[in-house]
Structure 1
Amino acid sequence: MTTAMILTISDTRDLTSDKSGQYLETTLRAHGVSVTDRQVVIDDTVDIQSQFLQFEQQSPDLIITNGGTGIAQRDVTIPALTPLLPTLVEGFGETFRQLSFAEIGTRALASRAVAAFNQRNQLVYCLPGSTNACQTAMEELILPEFEHLIFERHK
C-alpha cells in the first residue's frame, strides 16, 4: 500500500481550518493511499525544512505540501525545499500551470508548484494552498500518474 504524508504551510491555518490538507487526505484515502501524518507549519524556512525532514525520515512513498508556492515574500516553500529535492519532474509544474491557466488565466503564472524526488527517492508534490488548485493537481495529474512515477524511479 502506498503511504503519504501531508504538510500544509500557512500562517493562518491549523489542522482544523486547513481545508486543502483535509481535501488531500480525504482524496488520497479514497484512492487507497494510507495517509500516516498531516501537519501544519508556518511560512518559515526552518520550520518547513524541519517538518519535511521529519516526514522524510519516516519513509512515506509520497510527501505532499500545500501552501507557500506563490511569489509573495512570505511564500518560502519552494526556496526552502529546493535544496532537498535534487530530481525535478519538470513536466508536472509545466502541465499544472497550463491547466491552471485554463481555469484562472494569467494568474497561473505566479505558481511555482513542482513535483520532485528527494534524496530518499520519495515522490514530493509542492502544491498551492488553494483547495481548487489542489483539486486540479490531484484529479488531473497526481492520481493518474503517481504510481507510475514511483515505479519508474525505483527501476
Structure 2
Amino acid sequence: MSRSPVRVATLTLSDTRTLDDDEGGQLLGELLKRAGFSVTSHAVLREEPELLRAAIVQIADAGSADAVVTTGGTGIAPRDRTLEALAPLFEKTLDGFGEAFRRLSWDAIGPNAILSRAAAGVARGLVVIALPGSPKAVELAVTQIIGPVLAHAVTLASGKGGHHHRPPQPAQGEEQRG
C-alpha cells in the first residue's frame, strides 16, 4: 500500500510581490514537488498578520493540506511580522527547525544568518514552516531540511505515528490502574 504524498499549501507574504513576479513562491512550489510533496494551493498575501492567520485557519478547517510553508516576512524590518502572526496559532514550536536553518545559512552567508527568524510549529494540526523570501534561503530550507523531515513531522503532528500515537492498553485480563 503506497502512501499518498504530503499535501502542502504555500503562501508568499509580501507587500510588493504578485503571482507573476513571485520568484521565491514559484521556486518553493517547484522544489516541494521535486521532493515528492503535493502542492495543493499557492497565494500571495500582504504582510498583514490577520490575513496570514485567517489563511492558516481556512486551510486547516478545509482539510486541504497537511502542512503550510510560507516565504517572506521573517526578517527584522518593521513590516516583517510573519512570526508575530503565527505565534498565537502555534500549539507547539519546532525550535530545531530555526536552529538548523540558521546553522546551514551561516555556512552559506556567514554572520548575517542570525538576522533570520525562520521558524516552524504546529498550528491546528498543520505543520507550519515560515521561510525567508530569498530564493536561496527557500532552496536551502527545502533541500536540506523540509524535504528530509516534513513527511515524518506531518505523521507525528497528526497523531498517526511515533511512539505517542495512542495510549497503552492493558493486557487482556489486566485491570487498568488509575
> In which range does the TM-score fall when normalised by the shorter chain?
over 0.9
How far did residue 148 of structure 1 move? 1.5
| TM-score between both structures, scaled by the size of structure 2 | 0.82
2:132 maps to a residue whose letter is: P
Match for residue 112 of structure 1 among 108, 117, 121: 117
Higher CA-based Rg = 2
Q: What is the aligned partner in structure 2 of residue 140 from structure 1?
A: 144
Distance in 1 of aligned mates of 2:155 and 2:51:
30
1:146 maps to a residue whose letter is: L
Match for residue 48 of structure 1 among 47, 52, 57: 52
Cα deviations by residue, 1:35-82 (Å, 9 ceiling, x for unpaired): 111000111112222222222222211100110001111001100111
Are positions 1:6 and 2:28 aligned together? no
Cα deviations by residue, 1:3-29 (Å, 9 ceiling, x for unpaired): 110010001101111111111111222
Segment drifting more, 97-106 vs 50-59: 50-59
Whether the aligned pair in 2 keeps the contact of 1:7 and 1:52 (CA below 8 Å) is: no
Q: What is the aligned partner in structure 1 of residue 156 from structure 2?
A: 152
| TM-score between both structures, scaled by the size of structure 1 | 0.94
How far did residue 110 of structure 1 move? 1.0
Match for residue 20 of structure 2 among 16, 21, 27: 16
Distance in 2 of aligned mates of 1:28 and 1:106:
27
Consecutive unaligned residues in structure 1, runs of 5 or more:
none
C-alpha RMSD of the superposition: 1.1
Number of equivalenced pairs: 154
**Partner secondary structure for residue 19 of structure 2:** coil
Whether the aligned pair in 1 keeps the contact of 2:31 and 2:143 (CA below 8 Å) is: no
Q: What is the aligned partner in structure 1 of residue 90 from structure 2?
A: 85
